[in-house]
Amino acid sequence: MLRFLLLLSLALLPNGGQGELDPDDLAIITSANASEVVSVGVVHETGADADIIDAVFHPHEDLVTFISTYNLTTLDLTSLDPIYTVEVTQPLDIAISPDGDTMAGMIDYDLWVWPVDDFEQRRLLTDPELGSLPGIVTLRFASDGSELVAADFDVVFAWESETWQFLRRIQFERDSQSGGSDVILSASSEIMGRSVSDAIMEIRETLTGNLLTGPRLNDLLQRERTSPLTLLTFTLEEDALIISFEPGLGDPMSNDIVWLNLEGEMTRQLWHPYNSVYEGAISPDGTVLAISSGFDGGIYLLDTDIGDTLAALEGHTLGITSLTFNADGTLLMSTSGDGTLRLWGIPAGE
């Protein structure tokens, strides 16, 4: 049953006043102007200990949908007021189809799909042999909307998106002693990255499971790395995976972010001064990489060419749970364990 207006919503303009956000009155964020990025809106989720876990921009409307500890909510971007809110339990990840008509989400340890404006019409997706799929950690629709792909650390599933017929399950081997801890799907869902162990990661096709590359990362870095890695994002062209490394005990200055192409070659390496980079998003023009740092809510915009910090975005007070640019690159959206969703941009004339 829908419950309306469960959020306290507040739009903050850069001058400290209050008013509506005009998504059409924003400049495209690039490395040339990223230093001008400011907060253009913040939404507070009510409820004790509420985290905002994930959020997506709608592809053709000025809307945002997010999941929090307790709710699934769609917002009007111009007013930052909720269009609808429904109660959910144990939410994990959400995705939206390219036409903007269908959403998918891991909720209460099950995978569901529903019309974007009617959660009551949700449908449970299963594997005919395995049943429900509580281990799914990431979801993406194909670029043409023809299928939904879901992945766990060692398996990928797919469903046809018109009838929701189950299409395939592809299982991968996993190191039982030092198993990987991260998996990521590209925006098109055609390729996936997975950490097989702390030293080895793979990039695979999701249609066939074919291995595209599986290098030993210490060989690429030319040092024995003892620290965890995080798969941040694929490039927009999906020709490289961007990976973050934390400094190891014997390597305190090893804060690296690297670009790994589909042939297993390291094509770019950036050093930065920030610890515990667990979230990342690349701007549509490819010149800005937004990263989170640690558990204090810090967000930093890096020049993807030389690695310089272009801006430090302050406002969140706890760790970042997701970072997303909108399609035209005029907005960066961040969600956090502090129960807020924040929008960052450059108002025209600023």
* pLDDT value at residue 154: 87
Cα Rg for the chain, rounded, in angstroms? 20
As a whole number, the mean pLDDT across the chain is 86
* pLDDT value at residue 174: 64
Which of the residue ranges 83-92, 150-159, 178-187 has the most confident prediction, judged by mean pLDDT?
150-159
Cα–chain-centroid distance for residue 309?
21
* pLDDT value at residue 276: 81
* pLDDT value at residue 219: 77
Question: Are 200 and 207 spatial neighbours (Cβ–Cβ below 8 Å)?
Answer: no
Q: State the pTM of this model.
A: 0.89
- For the ranges 17-21, 72-76, 118-122, 267-271, the lowest mean pLDDT is seen at 17-21
* pLDDT value at residue 17: 33
Gap between the Cα atoms of 324 and 326, Å rounded: 7
Gap between the Cα atoms of 118 and 74, Å rounded: 11
- pLDDT of residue 16 exceeding 50: no
SS3 335: strand
SS3 60: coil
Amino acid at the residue 146: S
pLDDT band at 12 (very low <50, low <70, confident <90, very high): very low
Gap between the Cα atoms of 60 and 64, Å rounded: 11
Q: What is the per-residue DSSP string for 268-315?
A: EEEE-S-S----EEE-TTSSEEEEEETTTTEEEEEETTT--EEEEE--
Residue indicated by tokens 């194909």: 142
Q: What are the pLDDT digits (tens) for 127-150?
A: 999 998 878 999 999 999 999 999
- pLDDT of residue 102 exceeding 60: yes
- Taking residues 295-308, report their average pLDDT: 92
- pLDDT of residue 267 exceeding 50: yes
- pLDDT of residue 40 exceeding 90: yes
pLDDT band at 350 (very low <50, low <70, confident <90, very high): low
Gap between the Cα atoms of 195 and 294, Å rounded: 21
Count CB neighbours of 350 within 10 A. Answer: 14
Burial class of residue 210 (count of CB atoms within 10 Å of its CB; 0-12, 13-18, 19+) = exposed
**Structural domains of the chain ordered from first start:** 19-347 (2.130.10.10)
